[in-house]
Amino acid sequence: MDKISVEGGSRLYGRTVIGGMKNSALPVIYACLLIKDECIIENVPRVSDVENSLQILRGMGAYADFVGEHTVRIDASSVGGEIKDFPLVSKMRASSYLMGVLISRFGEAYLPMPGGCNFGARPIEQHLKGFSCLGATCSEENGLITIKAKEKLKSAKITLDKISVGATINTVLASVLVDGETVIENVAREPHVIDLINFLNACGAKIVHLGSKIAVEGVKKLHGIKYRIYPDMIESLTYMACVGVCGGEAELIGAEFSHISYVCDIFGKMGLEIKSDRERIIVKSRGNINGADVITAPYPLFPTDLHPQFAAMLCFANGGGTVTEEIFPGRFGYVAELQKMGAHIVREKNSVIISKSEMHAAELDATDLRAGAALIVASLGADGRSIVNNVGYIVRGYENIVGKISDLGGKIKFIKEI
């Protein structure tokens, strides 16, 4: 198994490029299945969830591949509705978007329960509620999902019971080609939801996002387009966390401040200096950061995808702090790993209480994508050489994390095991 080795304790100075947002590239890739034309998607990160999604599309008969460093070409004009690679689909959460696009294009979808990161149950009843309101029947048996529309789907007024990125996107995907106006209430408003809507609108859709509501005026067809994915806000925030812990100054080229202003405000109170213009964010830290208390919540509030990395920062922060997890109650796999490094962390229900700790190097196991990133943040701040195992989780969502942290001056290496 591949590993990452991190020699901690030095300041970070340098510049690196922030890639495209994994969580918008994925729905955009699946949305291409709605389009009987060629789409060129730029700024797509080379992460394994993207590579696997392209492979799923190829298995269905689409052309779907990188044609440049970060440019993907997808032509789904002649796909069939049958998914060939069930094991690959069940490895990934984003494959749930197949439900929305297949029910729209073929009137039925048959697939295994989508998988996802390793932090507890990931229900899909809100996705199914969206499809049912549009007139489909949904059933699940032995981990297999069947969705069928006996007649054409019908526009509807849908109120999701829970704010969900996946259910919002899936309901939009299923309704974009349905006659009439579908209104979806209590929707997610993450930048990745907006990115997907911008992509669909560029392809001819008529979708308006109004705060907690989305109105979809169905169109007859979508056309091909060239589209550029937003920069990855969690990648930007992860590297900012590294600089916060180590001290130093980093230029994050391509990072988008407006997507992360809520967290930047918290980082500012912790002592990080953040400046931005249209092309970059510059983050500076003396390395002597203050603590903070945060609660994860849907956008625009504190992102659950930064919870573990933020908890790692708090181990180095004067006065420590707390993280309360309100989205994924199982997202605490990193706690035992940080404790191996000397972290004083107490877990109480869905919160962690963290005190400033003497952090030392250790051999660590990534338990999921963001937990793995948290271990790298902590290892960069701790004295000595840490080893992070289970790198497969990290490459699901961070392209070239080792190269990018090296660009910032971090002493980090990828160890390929044969």
Q: What is the distance between the alpha carbons of residues 88 and 99, in angstroms, rounded to a whole number?
A: 15
Does residue number 94 form part of the binding site for ligand EPU (CB under 6 A)? Answer: yes
Site for ligand EPU in 396-415 (CB under 6 A): 397
Buried b vs exposed e over 220-230: b needs ≥16 C-beta within 10 Å?
Answer: eebebbebbbb
Does residue number 376 form part of the binding site for ligand EPU (CB under 6 A)? Answer: no
Q: CB of 254 within 8 A of CB of 276?
A: no
Among the listed residues 32, 117, 246, 315, the single catalytic one is 117
Q: Tell me how far, at minimum, the Cβ of 182 lies from ligand EPU, in Å.
A: 18
Binder of ligand EPU out of 54, 138, 165, 312 (CB under 6 A)? 165
Which residue type occupies 411? K
Q: Tell me how far, at minimum, the Cβ of 327 lies from ligand EPU, in Å.
A: 5
Q: Tell me how far, at minimum, the Cβ of 355 lies from ligand EPU, in Å.
A: 26
Binder of ligand EPU out of 16, 23, 95, 357 (CB under 6 A)? 23
Q: What is the distance between the alpha carbons of residues 382 and 293, in angstroms, rounded to a whole number?
A: 22
Q: What is the distance between the alpha carbons of residues 377 and 80, in angstroms, rounded to a whole number?
A: 44
Nearer to ligand EPU, 91 or 127 (CB): 127
* Closest of 248, 362, 238 to residue 312, by C-alpha: 238
Nearer to ligand EPU, 92 or 362 (CB): 92
- 117 assigned to active site: yes
Nearer to ligand EPU, 36 or 46 (CB): 46
Placement of tokens 């960069």 in the chain: 380
For residue 19, give every residue at least 6 positions away whose Cβ sits within 8 Å of its Cβ, in sequence order, or none: 43, 45, 46, 70, 231, 232, 235, 254, 399
Site for ligand EPU in 306-345 (CB under 6 A): 327-328
Nearer to ligand EPU, 18 or 359 (CB): 18
Q: Give CA angle at 109 (329, 166), nearest 5°.
A: 30
Nearer to ligand EPU, 47 or 289 (CB): 47
Q: So which residues are the catalytic ones?
A: 117
Contact positions vs ligand EPU (CB under 6 A): 23, 26, 93-94, 117, 122-127, 162, 164-167, 188, 190, 304-305, 327-328, 369-370, 397
